[in-house]
Amino acid sequence: VSDSQARWTIVGQGLAGTSLAWALWKSGQHFARIDRGHGGSSRVAAGMLNPITGKNFEPSWRLNEFLTPAVEFYEEVESWIGRKIWHPYPVLRLAETGKEWEKIRSKLSAPHVAPWVAQEVAPPPGWTGAVLLRGGGRLDTLSFIDGSRDFFTKHGIAHSSHHESSGPGVTTIHCDGSTGLISNRYGSHRCAKGEILTLHAPDWDDTRIRVGAGGWLVPVGHGNFKAGSTYEWNLLDELPTAQGRSKVEAICRKLGGDSFTVLDHQAGIRPILRRSQPLIGPLNDHEWMFNALGSKGSLYAPRMAMLLARWLVDGIEPDPELSFPCYLKSLERESGH
């Protein structure tokens, strides 16, 4: 299918490219989509959105600005594609050691953390402390990507599996995830491979996301869960390994228990430039980028896409912290050039 009026070509239809397609669609733009149809980290991701993360128990970067637009966006897309994609869940954050629990507890009433704290709860056996968080959930990434693809195809938006050079007057926006980063198109990267299991465990509590022991367990319905994950910076391929599987199985035993069956084992590469802080912006006169969603594509993709569409279509620049050209300048300043 081709659209002779297309002004934009989006390369990549993971969370970044699909969110951008919606933002351009909503502003009445003509665009074409390119995607290989396989690989990429969005198809592997658990889609979990957890407001307060990490060992330091801190809100995700610029959380207040990104969370509500993300949830509103997914709910709006549901109404367009007629499929449920956003599943809100409380997040049960568990602490293994006394030291870890002390850190978490010391922050529960801090003004930047307290709005996300639903309540402190009794820890399950084997854990030192537990707190229930609000605002979390799971994006069904496959339903989002495939449902959007079907919608755009039905509405005549061009799609192809490979990118040839764009014609005159067409701007290409690279939303190519780790493929783009590993090609060093954007300078040095910090991409990290991750492995994830899909489990069947009908006896486990499927009313909450569980986070602890350096991993997570996300209910996906029908007694199934996604569990992860590992971080590997050196061997960047999309191949599951026995070592990765046993690491994630150990997380599963701690978070869920011993009785589960592994249904699937996958690996993907998180696109990272500087932690999970995405970037958008022009590369030259006819090419732009949207990348570096890191471990938190579900949280950041929708609003970044909206800001990028505004920049592309209306020329309104986002604040410098989100801009790829500004990021490059800051690197140059740091290196003294």
> Does position 17 bind ligand FAD by CB under 6 A?
yes
Q: How many residues bind ligand FAD (CB under 6 A)?
A: 41
Mask of contacts with ligand FAD, 54-93, x by CB under 6 A? ----------------------------------------
Closer Cβ to ligand FAD, 20 or 101, answer by number: 20
Per the CB < 8 A criterion, the answer to whether 81 and 148 are in contact is yes
Sole binder of ligand FAD in the list 6, 8, 20, 42 (CB under 6 A): 42
> Does position 268 bind ligand FAD by CB under 6 A?
yes
Q: How far is the CB of 53 from ligand FAD (least distance, A)?
A: 10
Give the binding range for ligand FAD (CB under 6 A) out of 24-32, 169-177, 246-254, 314-322: 169-177
Sole binder of ligand FAD in the list 9, 12, 189, 248 (CB under 6 A): 12
**Nearest one of 231, 269, 229 to 248, comparing CA atoms:** 229
Using a 10 angstrom Cβ sphere, with 0-12 exposed, 13-18 middle and 19 or more buried, the burial of residue 243 is exposed
| CA pair distance 60, 223, nearest whole angstrom | 29
User: Which structure tokens are listed for 312?
Assistant: 């592309």
Q: How far is the CB of 336 from ligand FAD (least distance, A)?
A: 31
Q: Which residues between 287 and 306 bind ligand FAD (CB under 6 A)?
A: 291, 293-299
Contacts for 45 with CB less than 8 Å, ≥ 6 apart: 15, 141, 196, 268, 297, 298
| CA pair distance 268, 177, nearest whole angstrom | 11
**In 256-318, alpha helices (H):** 297-314
- Under the phi-then-psi rule, with left for phi > 0, alpha for psi from -120 to 50, and beta for the rest, what region is 197? beta
Q: Which residues bind ligand FAD (CB under 6 A)?
A: 11-17, 34-36, 39-42, 44-48, 162-163, 175-179, 194, 196, 228-229, 268, 270-271, 291, 293-299
